[in-house]
C-alpha cells in the first residue's frame, strides 16, 4: 500500500520545489514514504530469511550483504528526512543520492564468481 503513495508524495515534492513553498513538509512526507517502503522491505527480507524461503543456492555472504543494503536504506533515507526538515534542499540531495548508490554492487551480494580454468 505504501508504494501507492509514491506518485502522490513525488508530485507533492515537485509542486513544492516549483512553488518554493512548503518544501520542508514535502521533503519529510516524500522521505517518510520512502523510509516506510524501506522498512517494509526489511520486514519482508527478515521473514524470508528466518522462514528459510530464500533460494538455497544463495550463499550466506550474499544474504548478509543484501540485509546490510536493506538496513542501509533506513539510515540513509532517515537522515535525509531529518536533515530535510531543517534544510529541505540538503534533504532532497541526501535522499536522491541514495537512489543511484543503492544500485551499486556490494561485495558478497552476488556470491563468488565461478572460476574457469
Q: What is the DSSP secondary-structure string of 54-97?
A: S-TTS-HHHHHHHHHHHHHHHHHHHHHHHHHHHSHHHHHHHHHH
Owner of C-alpha cell 503513495: 5
Rounded mean pLDDT, 22-32: 97
pLDDT tens digits for range 84-104: 999 999 999 999 998 888 788
> Full-prediction pTM beyond 0.75?
yes
Q: Identify the pLDDT of residue 113.
A: 60
Q: Identify the pLDDT of residue 108.
A: 67
Q: Are 32 and 95 in contact (CB under 8 A)?
A: no
pLDDT tens digits for range 49-74: 999 999 888 888 888 888 988 899 99
Q: Residue 3 — pLDDT band, cuts 50, 70, 90? A: confident
Amino acid at each position: 500500500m505504501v508504494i501507492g503513495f509514491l506518485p502522490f508524495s513525488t508530485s507533492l515534492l515537485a509542486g513544492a520545489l516549483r512553488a518554493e513553498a512548503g518544501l520542508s513538509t514535502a521533503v519529510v512526507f516524500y522521505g517518510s514514504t520512502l523510509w516506510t517502503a524501506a522498512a517494509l522491505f526489511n520486514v519482508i527480507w527478515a521473514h524470508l530469511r528466518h522462514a528459510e524461503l530464500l533460494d538455497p543456492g544463495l550463499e550466506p555472504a550474499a544474504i548478509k550483504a543484501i540485509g546490510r543494503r536493506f538496513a542501509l536504506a533506513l539510515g540513509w533515507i532517515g537522515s535525509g528526512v531529518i536533515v530535510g526538515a531543517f534544510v529541505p534542499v540538503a534533504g532532497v540531495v541526501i535522499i536522491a543520492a541514495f537512489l543511484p548508490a543503492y544500485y551499486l554492487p556490494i561485495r558478497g551480494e552476488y556470491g563468488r564468481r565461478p572460476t574457469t580454468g
